[in-house]
């Protein structure tokens, strides 16, 4: 059943009717069109049928203004792709009869051309969340069917005809910021138009990988910058990779770039400590494939220790913790990062130390110095789930290297001053918590405070 009857008025509609009616009269048998024909529904609504006859099963209904790609004509019926159904699904719509026009061609003057990129992703929908189907190469021209805003593109997404391709159409971003990827101001007289997609290879899924997710720098105040470090970046895509330092003490440089089907390069990361007071600094650097949903994050941690003998700045407090575990997103990926923890007193429950780390099967190593204020016996207490190991001055004091929650304590005779401390914790499954307490004749039972814990500098001094 077609929608309400609509009379056609206007010069363009009369011309469209004349062309379609002529095709209807002169086309008693079906034939493939010379190229994809973008068409738009002209009547209020129109049934899509399984074959070119009013007696055929109705598949769906399309509405006035909707655009489709026709690839075959039989009598006064068009065979169209249905992009809103599964890819490759198709049906037949009646183009016109002796009284009325139901569909009209989309003006072929609306052409687009790929520019400013070697190749452009063609996706199944208007947004970076839709999978890539193929590549459109620079200089290729297409017939644009429609355009609209979408995710991952600051300009419009254009839908255009792709002949000989399942679905018959695809979407590409016309530009990011001030950079255009699709030229849309082509003159109507420009030579057409549609390139065969047989020359468009199906693109591999874009990917972005860093060989580490964190870099740790340690420097001494006023004694120069630590040595630069490198991260190997590997990505497969046809959109540019964007990254930028967002803090004044961090600088980045792209070096050792090669291209062998994928881009691989070393990212040089340097820190500038001149003028920075002693303290702990941290930033997370995002690397983004423009036009896609792929992003990687690099955490940069900088600890500036006070100069020996200096009195202008307080010492850095806490222990440096090295965390190792599995990614919460990709089970094959290993998460490894370091951070400065003021105290050892954590109850993660069924969560994890960081959102991108899996809540089970991770470990932490804390190392540094502990300040002892009195010559007397100190009792160290650990409360953990699961395993724990505590070393004082390289002597194993507490050893519970097994599953389950437990509380342990051990008394050690210590002298006033700084002593080495090393704490290793691992989590298996379910709840995760770890705390380090102490007590002595002069010290009440409490979590070891941050002002008695100090990280090691790069040369091993506190």
Contact 169, 157 (CB under 8 A): no
Q: Are 420 and 281 in contact (CB under 8 A)?
A: no
Residue 132 above 80 pLDDT? Answer: no
- Is there a single domain that holds both residue 97 and residue 143? no
> 226 is written with which tokens?
């630590």
How many Cβ atoms from other residues are within 10 Å of residue 391's Cβ?
16
Q: How far is Cα 279 from Cα 312, in angstroms, rounded to an integer?
A: 12
Q: For residue 291, tell me if it sits in a domain.
A: no
What are 20's two structure tokens? 């379609």
Domain boundary among 105, 129, 155: 105
Same domain, 22 and 154: no
Nearest residue to 435 (alpha-carbon basis) of 371, 384, 373: 384
In a domain, 282, yes or no: no
- Backbone phi, psi, residue 452, to 5°: -115, 10
Q: Which two tokens stand for residue 374?
A: 């009195």
CATH classification of the domain holding 149: 2.30.30.40
Residues 91 and 130 in one domain: no
Q: What's the pLDDT score for residue 135? A: 65
Better pLDDT: 10 or 68: 68
Report yes or no: 212 and 336 within 8 Å, Cβ to Cβ. Answer: yes
Residue 262 pLDDT: 55
Is 227 within a domain? yes
Nearest to 147 by CA among 111, 197, 116: 111
Taking the complete model, does pTM exceed 0.85, yes or no? no
Whether cis (ω within 30° of 0) applies to the bond prior to 359 is: no
Kindly write down the DSSP assignment for every residue of 35-67, as one continuous string. Answer: EEEEEEE-SSEEEEESSSSTTSPEEEEEETT-E
336 lies in the same domain as 430? yes
Which of 60, 77, 105 is the endpoint of a domain?
Answer: 105
**Displacement of CA 341 from its chain's centroid (Å):** 29
When the pLDDT of each residue in the chain is averaged and rounded to a whole number, the result is: 74
Q: What is the mean pLDDT of residues 160-181?
A: 69
What residue spans of 238-304 are helical by DSSP H?
Answer: none
Question: Is 311 within the bounds of a domain?
Answer: no
State mean pLDDT over 398-405.
Answer: 85
Q: How far apart are CA 107 and CA 105, in angstroms?
A: 6
Task: Return d(Cα 50, Cα 58) in angstroms, integer.
Answer: 6
359 Rama class: left (phi>0) / alpha (psi -120 to 50) / beta: alpha
- The residue with greater pLDDT, 50 or 316, is 50
pLDDT tens digits, residue range 424-446? 998 988 889 999 999 999 999 99
Distances, alpha carbon 241 to alpha carbons 12, 27, 153, in Å: 46, 52, 14
- Would you say residue 269 has pLDDT above 80? yes
Q: What is the 3-state secondary structure (H, E, C) of 121-172?
A: EEECCCECCCCEEEEEECCCEEEEEEEEEEECEEEEEEEEECCCCCCCEEEE
Q: Are residues 28 and 165 in the same domain?
A: no
Q: How many C-beta atoms surround the C-beta of residue 139 within 10 A?
A: 10
Cβ–Cβ under 8 Å, residues 381 and 438: yes
Q: Lowest mean pLDDT: which of 25-39, 49-63, 149-163?
A: 25-39
Higher pLDDT, 435 or 335: 435
Query: Helix, strand or coil for residue 431?
Result: coil
- CA dihedral of residues 150, 152, 158, 163 (deg, nearest 10): -120
Residue 98: left (phi > 0), alpha (psi -120 to 50), or beta? alpha
Any domain includes 131: yes
DSSP state of 91: E
- Between residues 327 and 61, the one the model is more confident about: 61
Residue 204 CA to residue 236 CA, distance in Å, equals 8
Domain boundary residue, one of 140, 172, 199: 199
Query: In this predicted model, what pLDDT tens digit does every residue of 212-262 receive, in sequence order?
Result: 888 888 888 777 888 888 888 887 755 566 677 778 888 887 765 544 445
- 250 and 376: one domain? no
Closest CA to 270 of 302, 292, 294: 302
25 and 97: one domain?
yes
* Count of domains forming the chain: 4
Q: How confident is the model at residue 70 (pLDDT cuts 50, 70, 90)?
A: confident
How far is the C-alpha of 35 from the C-alpha of 15, rounded, in Å?
A: 21
CA distances from 153 to 112, 120, 181, 296 (A): 17, 13, 11, 19
Question: Which residues pair with residue 438 across a beta bridge?
Answer: 380, 446
Q: Indicate whether 377 and 404 sit together in one domain.
A: yes
Residue 167 lies in a domain: yes
The pLDDT, as a whole number, for residue 20 is: 44
Question: Is the model's pLDDT at 371 over the cut of 90?
Answer: yes
Can you give the residue range of the structural domain that contains 62? 11-105
Tell me if 181 sits within 8 A of 119, measured CB to CB: no
Which is higher by pLDDT, 268 or 169?
A: 268
């Amino acid at each position: 059943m077609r929608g309400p009857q609509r009379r056609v008025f206007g010069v363009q509609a009369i011309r469209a009717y004349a062309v379609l009616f002529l095709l209807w009269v002169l086309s008693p048998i079906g034939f493939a069109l010379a190229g994809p024909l973008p068409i738009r529904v002209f009547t209020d609504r129109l049934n899509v049928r399984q074959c070119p006859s009013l007696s055929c099963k109705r598949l769906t209904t399309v509405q006035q203004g909707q655009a489709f790609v026709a690839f075959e004509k039989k009598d006064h019926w068009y065979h169209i792709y249905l992009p809103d159904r599964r890819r490759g699904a198709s049906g037949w719509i009646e183009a016109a009869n002796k009284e009325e026009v139901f569909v009209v061609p989309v003006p072929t003057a609306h052409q687009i051309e790929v520019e400013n990129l070697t190749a452009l992703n063609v996706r199944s929908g208007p947004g970076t969340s839709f999978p890539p189907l193929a590549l459109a190469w620079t200089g290729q021209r297409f017939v644009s069917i429609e355009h609209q805003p979408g995710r991952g593109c600051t300009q419009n997404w254009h839908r255009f005809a792709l002949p000989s391709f399942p679905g018959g159409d695809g979407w590409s971003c016309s530009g990011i910021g001030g950079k255009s990827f699709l030229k849309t101001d082509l003159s109507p007289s420009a030579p057409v138009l549609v390139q065969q997609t047989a020359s468009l290879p199906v693109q591999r899924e874009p990917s972005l990988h860093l060989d580490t997710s964190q870099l740790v720098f340690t420097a001494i105040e006023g004694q120069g910058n630590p040595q630069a470090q490198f991260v190997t970046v590997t990505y497969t895509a046809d959109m540019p990779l964007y990254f930028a330092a967002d803090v004044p003490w961090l600088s980045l440089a792209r070096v050792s770039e090669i291209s062998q089907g994928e881009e691989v390069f070393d990212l040089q990361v340097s820190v500038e400590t001149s003028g920075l007071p002693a303290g702990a600094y941290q930033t997370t650097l995002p690397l983004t494939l423009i036009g896609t949903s792929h992003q990687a994050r690099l955490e940069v941690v900088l600890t500036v220790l006070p100069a020996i003998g200096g009195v202008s700045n307080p010492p850095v407090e806490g222990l440096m913790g090295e965390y190792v575990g599995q990614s919460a997103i990709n089970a094959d990926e290993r998460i490894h990062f370091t951070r400065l923890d003021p105290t050892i007193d954590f109850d993660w429950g069924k969560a994890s130390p960081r959102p991108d780390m899996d809540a089970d099967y991770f470990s932490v190593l804390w190392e540094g110095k502990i300040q002892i204020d009195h010559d007397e016996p100190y009792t160290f207490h650990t409360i953990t789930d699961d395993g724990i190991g505590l070393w004082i001055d390289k002597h194993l004091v507490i050893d519970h290297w097994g599953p389950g929650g437990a509380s342990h304590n051990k008394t050690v005779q210590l002298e006033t001053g700084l002593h080495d401390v090393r704490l290793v914790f691992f989590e298996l499954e379910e709840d995760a918590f770890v705390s380090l307490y102490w007590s002595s004749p002069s010290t009440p039972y409490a979590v070891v405070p941050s002002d008695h814990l100090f990280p090691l500098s790069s040369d091993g001094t506190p």
